[in-house]
Amino acid sequence: MILIIAEKAIAGRRIASLLADSAIKEHRSHNAPFFEFTKNGKEHIVVPLRGHIFNVDFPKNFAPWIGTDLKKLVNARIEYIEVEKGIIALLKEFASKAEMVVMATDSDREGESIALEALECLKEKNKSLEVKRANFSAITKEDIERAFSRLGALDLNFADSANARREIDLVWGAVLTRFLSLVSGRLGKQFLSAGRVQSPTLALIVDREKEIIAFKAKPYWEIQAEFKKEKKFTAIHKLGRIWEKEKALKIMEKKDSHGIVAKVKKQEKEIQKPLPFNTTEFLRAAAGIGFSVGRAMSIAENLYQRGIISYPRTDNTVYPASLDFKKILNSLLTVGKFFNDVKKILSQKKIIPSRGKKATKDHPPIHPVSVPKEELSTEQWRIYELVCRRFFATLSEPAIVESMSVEILMNGEPFIARGQRFIKKGWKEFYPYLKSVEVVLPELSEGDRVKLLRLELLEKETKPPARYSQGSLIKLMEKNNLGTKSTRHETIQKLYSRRYISGRKAITPNRIAFAVIDSLEKYDGIIIKPKMTAELEREMDLIAAGKKKKPEVVNDSRKMLTKAIAVLMEKKDKIGSALREALRQDNQFFSCTRKECDGLLVMRRSSFSKKRFLGCSNYPECTVTYPLPQNGSVKRTDKECPYCGKPMIRVSGRRYSFEMCIDPNCKSKDKWKKKNNKKE
């Protein structure tokens, strides 16, 4: 019997169905599924895991947060503890019956680590078991059969690299989280988390918010003219931003009834097509159409496991020479929505894909590999369509635009009108997510007289830097080598779940995020500096390359943390005081709604039900209270309810966000209840 190990049930079922000579049989044992089939007369069993079947943790004597010496925790032994006991029992049951095991987990570092866990369980019962590795980037019949005809060996260096990350992140996360939670008094479910990647990422968000807060707007003026020659068009004074109002007013005094075209410049240029999707660019694009990066990755993984797209965790931006573009395109002709687009691409004289700078040997860029055999949900279809349309764009032709710049003189003052029109849409026809606006100017020649319809002096001011979106933050994390393509979205989701940040389109840190980062920065900057994390990332890459050993890298990280925690412990009282004050302010919402009371409405929790509510800080003298939703983060707003005038709050969860009046008796109640499930 040949035993096959898959990473998830959906992937295991599909691998079995693609390899089987006839129908597969699905069974359960030890409350875990497995699939049975025959191929070439040989019995095969596929056992799917649920990702990692072991967790990394400390020995039980380090479990209590209070009373544990953090310096000892830094160097505590790390244990691999069974979490999927049913699957582990099933593996051991089949171990003695198998003559060979084929590891068919995801072909990356994490997949190699997961495969190694399964192998260690199997070896307990069958030390002589032959072990092979199937590497593939898509779960299609062709890819799976090719992988199983070219079986290789497990890459233990890859597994060690992934396990080093797990151990390092456990130690850093546990020590820093316990330190912050203990000194702030924030224990239980409301603990303050920190981590090797999480804290530098949060620091980037906080630093950007500080830039926004410190920004001082500077006024400036623009002069805009509307001219007409056959059709209306707009021109801006050549100076653009004018910093002195008096200068702008003097220009306005030169207003005339017409202008004279002084220069006309036309230029054709190519807009190069986008590069193939790697993980970072895919997540940025998905965030741009309204997905959280975590949700986008979850859907992409599901589509991969169903054999519809290629593996979604890759750094590669160069398609392999072996990829059969025409075969994939021809299969997509059967998707009605894509039919015309695919026909146009296939009609090109040559299909020459765009190429990025990074070509890796593990997985190709993300691309469609087959047509869905069953109906996709709305969200799944949107991600699938995004991947397909990016694929089309990379195989199509460049777009060609004609840009036009016209200088118009009015009493000697120059105004510039700019236009742009597409001569050839090229890839833009297939990829609608990057907007390009056409501005078509009338036909103008030097010496033409154009009528002035309107001249306006526009008062404006400089804008602060924009807050990060999830897409731009993912890109910044990649630039600073924070985390990996496989973990960055998880880090961002963790910051949301710990309520350090809110806002999907524009990420905003809350007060406790400021306090945590300010404390770590003031007393030990290394923890929040990308340089330290990037250095450890490079060390883990060296493990994967076989140039360093796991114990050495893990011990190096412990030494870094030992120095950092020693500094923090010396200043624990000051750090604790700053964190407690930030927590107190973060819980303050509004002035009490009772007119004769000078108290503040703050978030509290019932001592009996533990439910949160707003209560007056002057209790028991003032007993004003308002219930709060028990799920999601709650933030104050500057708005008043249009029905009763009481304050409004914003409630945000993973996939929803809405505003509501704090008064449950307000007649707006039914309106905001309906918004409860509305996605932002």
Give the residue numbers annotated as catalytic, written as ranges.
311
Per DSSP, 434 falls in state S
- Number of Cβ within a 10 Å radius of residue 421: 12
Buried b (16+ CB within 10 A) or exposed e, 337-368: ebeebbeebeeeeeeebbebeeeeeebbbbbb
Task: Give me the helices (H) in 430-503, please.
Answer: 470-479, 488-497
Other residues' Cβ atoms within 10 Å of the Cβ of residue 66: 7
Residue 32 CA, distance from chain mean position: 32
Measured CA to CA, the distance from residue 472 to residue 287 in angstroms comes to 9
H-type alpha helices, 347-462 = 378-395
Contacts of 203 (CB under 8 A, 6+ apart): 517, 520, 521, 528, 529
**In the numeric block, which tokens belong to residue 90?**
């099933």
349-354-359 Cα angle (round to 5) = 135
E strands present in 274-424: 399-410, 413-424
Please state, in angstroms and rounded to a whole number, the distance separating the CA atoms of residues 664 and 398.
Answer: 57
Q: Sheet containing 625-627: which strands, arranged edge to edge?
A: 588-591, 600-605, 612-616, 625-627
DSSP code at position 630: S
Alpha-carbon distances of 147 from 49, 131, 139, 153, 322, rounded to whole Å? 19, 15, 10, 12, 14
SS3 content of the chain, % helix, strand, coil (to 5): 40, 25, 35
Question: Parallel, antiparallel, or unpaired for β 413-424 and 399-410?
Answer: antiparallel
Name the burial class of residue 31, with classes exposed (0-12), middle (13-18) and buried (19+) by CB atoms within 10 angstroms of its CB. Answer: exposed
In angstroms, how far apart are the furthest CA atoms of the chain?
Answer: 95
CB 8 within 8 A of CB 49: yes
461's CB contacts (< 8 A; 6+ apart) are 217, 218, 219, 220
Plot region of 475 (φ>0 → left; ψ -120 to 50 → alpha; else → beta): alpha
Decide if 271 contacts 401 (C-beta within 8 A).
yes
Q: Enter the DSSP assignment of 193.
A: P
Where are the strands (E) in 91-229, listed by range?
A: 100-104, 130-133, 219-229
Q: Say if residues 15 and 111 touch (Cβ distance below 8 Å).
A: no
Question: What is the spatial order of strands in the sheet that 130-133 belongs to?
Answer: 25-29, 32-39, 42-48, 2-6, 100-104, 130-133
Cα–Cα distance between 193 and 177 in angstroms, integer? 4
